[in-house]
Amino acid sequence: MPGMSQTIPATESPPTATDRASLDTESSPGAADRASLATGSPEAAVTRASLDTESPPAAADRASLATGSPEAAVTRADLELLLLIRHFELALLDLFGRGELNGTTHTCLGQEYVPVALTPLLQPDDYVFSNHRGHGHYLARYQDPEGLLAEIMGREGAICSGVGGSQHILRDRYLSTGVQGESLPVAAGVALHLRGTGALACVYIGDGTWGEGSVYEALNLASLWNLPLLVIVENNGIAQSTPTTCQLAGTIRDRAHAFGIRHHGVTSIDLTEIRSQIAPLITSVRTDSHPLVIEFATHRLGPHSKGDDTRPPDQVRHLPDWYRQVQPTPLFAQADEAARTRIAAIVGEVSARPLSRWSACG
Ligand SMILES: Cc1ncc(C[n+]2csc(CCOP(=O)(O)OP(=O)(O)O)c2C)c(N)n1
Ligand SMILES: [Mg+2]
């Protein structure tokens, strides 16, 4: 998949532009910063520079990403998974539009590549903690659209008997919650038990969730206790209807650094490039047992939930979309049609199932 420019279109709101800038322009600490970090703690040798793992791609890299052959950069398996998630999410919005679904849902349209990038880097004994926008996280982990749709529709075969719905899924070592800020402390607790095993706890949170105090309590202990905790931030520049710069002072990077936690910023949507950047960092979380924050600069292409996008439609239309980028790929047309057809068949089949049953007694 070719990379795409992170240049924000003129119609983009200022917050996103600021965020991209903060992710792109990693700067070394000033002398005062070094001095204050170097005094007192056992981490005296840790400077901000040593916590910074990100570096903006060289100009040559950007050029090769922009012009590289698409078929060389996206595998069939990745493309199929990306398209599975995309068509699943589109089908959900369609079902809501037709009054076939109750409650609410938050689609990950535009952000599908984040969990797809992580898929080969996570292991079966890792734990994954997801949030309210978690369908892509689940599908990338289990490739189970039938179970997830049945869960959301309350039909037989539902992952949690239909009582969890879109946001509250429990399966093996996977747990999602719609309560912002709830998952990070829980993930930190699980990471405490994983120390030394080579497994890690991976938790997805949005930019807006950095407004929750529990995030900082968890980061504090994760750093103090050297927990194998991988925090994936999907910074889509907005929280419901609030642009990030209207609610987040400073940067996520600096907040992680305040706890002595490493931070890596990802601005690429090229899966190969992303994996080559983050694979060694994730390996180090396992082998050296420490927390790591990886912040993706990404874009929410759909509404917050459904029909509630407060952004001008023209602004949303111009946001980067991996889907447009992979269209020239020879594999695309056939894979896209196959995914669309498969999801349509699943919608028909799951909709016809009897309602799921749940009993507190199991
Ligand atoms: C504790 C809590 N407060 C408020 C909400 C309502 N709420 C759901 S999603 C959301 C915004 C989340 O923004 P962000 O973390 O940036 O994630 P995004 O929706 O952009 O993926 C809010 C305020 C909630 N679910 N939990
Ligand atoms: Mg957000």
Atom of ligand 1 nearest to the CA of 235: 16
Nearest residue by C-alpha to atom 11 in ligand 1: 239
The CB of 207 under 6 Å from ligand 1? The reply is yes
Pocket test for ligand 1, best of 240, 244, 308, 310 (most atoms within 8 A of CB): 240
Ligand 1 midpoint to CA 138 (Å): 18
Nearest residue by C-alpha to atom 3 in ligand 1: 180
The CB of 236 under 6 Å from ligand 1? The reply is yes
Contacts of 153 (CB under 8 A, 6+ apart): 95, 100, 101, 162, 350, 351
Pocket test for ligand 1, best of 13, 16, 132 (most atoms within 8 A of CB): 132
The CB of 136 under 6 Å from ligand 1? The reply is no
The CB of 134 under 6 Å from ligand 1? The reply is no
Residue where the block lists tokens 């689940």: 138
The CB of 240 under 6 Å from ligand 1? The reply is yes
The CB of 132 under 6 Å from ligand 1? The reply is yes
Residue 328 to residue 330: CA distance in whole angstroms: 6
User: By the 8 A CB rule, do 87 and 343 touch?
Assistant: yes
What's residue 160's pLDDT? 97
pTM comes to: 0.85
For 26, the token pair is: 């990693």
Nearest residue by C-alpha to atom 4 in ligand 1: 180
What residues does each domain of the chain span?
Answer: 75-350
Atom of ligand 1 nearest to the CA of 300: 20
Per-residue pLDDT of the chain (362 residues; tens, 9 = 90+): 443 333 322 323 333 333 433 443 343 333 333 333 233 333 333 343 456 565 433 333 322 223 334 344 699 999 999 999 999 999 999 999 999 998 899 999 999 999 999 999 999 999 999 999 999 999 999 999 999 999 999 999 999 999 999 999 999 999 999 999 999 999 999 999 999 999 999 999 999 999 999 999 999 999 999 999 999 999 999 999 999 999 999 999 999 999 999 999 999 999 999 999 999 999 999 999 999 999 999 999 999 999 899 999 999 999 999 999 999 999 999 999 999 999 999 999 999 999 999 988 75
What's residue 326's pLDDT? 93
According to CATH, the superfamily of the domain at 75-350 is Thiamin diphosphate (ThDP)-binding fold, Pyr/PP domains (3.40.50.970)
Ligand 1 midpoint to CA 23 (Å): 22
